[in-house]
């Protein structure tokens, strides 16, 4: 009897681009990939924060460099990606939220959210995939979506719309890119305590509502995403594409 061999979670020899890496989930993803051997390029709009992150990661002997990138500028993003060597792994954690009741949504907030969460994410994923195809390389492309890409949420109509759309193009791209051995997936977190969500948690009734919906009984931390991103980036998930990996404490199960 020949026993099966466990696929590797090692990312040694692979390059990863983590966008939105200057804080929160993006930072956690960058650290997780570097910890497992990837050469990581951390990208975001805020150069100063990237430099601090790179300095901290190098103290752990991670192989890391920074890249100032604003995915809202689609043409510039395309140019930057085309001028770099192909990235084996993409993690797009760039995102923004403008919460309000749907009846109170204003056009400016709608455009801000959609430009980053959907338009920027779409063309970033496209750009990285095109570089992989032209280089005849396999890859794993991961968009940080949300549980709100699968369900609705109060005061989150625009955010939900953007994340539902991310789920849609992820599945469509996965179908098209599979022939090139390029996988496309999403990670869908529940509410994670970050700089962006801090204000929500400071409102007692909102925090109580969130905690009542999470079956595990606690809010999420950025560390909860780290295992998921390593799994999807590695050979351990080589047959996983077009999927949504929920890290939601059971929120959507109910």
| Active-site option among 62, 87, 122, 159 | 159
**Do 250 and 215 meet the contact criterion of CB atoms below 8 Å apart?**
yes
- Local structure of 217: helix, strand or coil: coil
Burial class (CB in 10 A: 0-12, 13-18, 19+), 135: exposed
The answer to whether the beta carbons of residues 77 and 123 sit under 8 Å apart is yes
Going by C-beta distance under 8 Å and a sequence separation of 6 or more, which residues neighbour residue 177? 129, 133, 141, 183, 184, 241
Distance CA 93, CA 19 (A): 6
Record the tokens describing residue 219, joined without a space: 């809010």
Active site residue 159: yes
Residue written as token pair 């801000």: 112
Contact status, residue 29 vs residue 90, Cβ threshold 8 Å: no
DSSP assignment of 148-184, as one string? Answer: GGTS--TTBHHHHHHHHHHHHHHHHHHHHHGGGTEEE
Q: Which residues are catalytic?
A: 159
């Amino acid at each position: 009897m020949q026993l099966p061999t466990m696929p590797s979670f090692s990312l040694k020899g692979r390059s990863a681009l983590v966008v939105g890496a200057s804080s929160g989930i993006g930072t956690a993803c960058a650290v997780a990939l570097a910890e497992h051997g990837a050469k990581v390029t951390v990208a975001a709009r805020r150069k100063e924060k990237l430099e601090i992150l790179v300095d901290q990661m190098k103290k752990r002997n991670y192989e890391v460099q920074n890249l100032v990138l604003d995915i809202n500028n689609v043409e510039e993003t395309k140019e930057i990606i085309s001028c770099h060597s192909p990235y084996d792994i993409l993690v797009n954690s760039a995102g923004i939220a403008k919460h309000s009741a749907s009846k109170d949504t204003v056009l400016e907030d709608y455009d801000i959210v959609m430009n980053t969460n959907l338009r920027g994410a779409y063309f970033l994923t496209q750009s990285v995939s095109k570089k992989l195809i032209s280089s005849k390389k396999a890859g794993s492309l991961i968009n940080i979506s949300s549980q709100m890409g699968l369900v609705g949420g109060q005061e989150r109509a625009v955010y939900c719309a953007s994340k539902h759309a991310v789920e849609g193009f992820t599945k469509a791209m996965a179908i098209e890119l599979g022939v090139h051995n390029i996988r496309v997936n999403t990670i869908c977190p529940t509410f994670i305590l970050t700089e962006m969500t801090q204000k929500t948690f400071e409102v007692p009734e909102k925090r109580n509502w969130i905690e009542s919906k999470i079956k595990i009984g606690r809010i999420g931390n950025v560390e909860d995403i780290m295992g998921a991103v390593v799994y999807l980036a590695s050979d351990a998930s080589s047959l996983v594409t077009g999927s949504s990996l929920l890290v939601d404490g059971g929120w959507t199960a109910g």
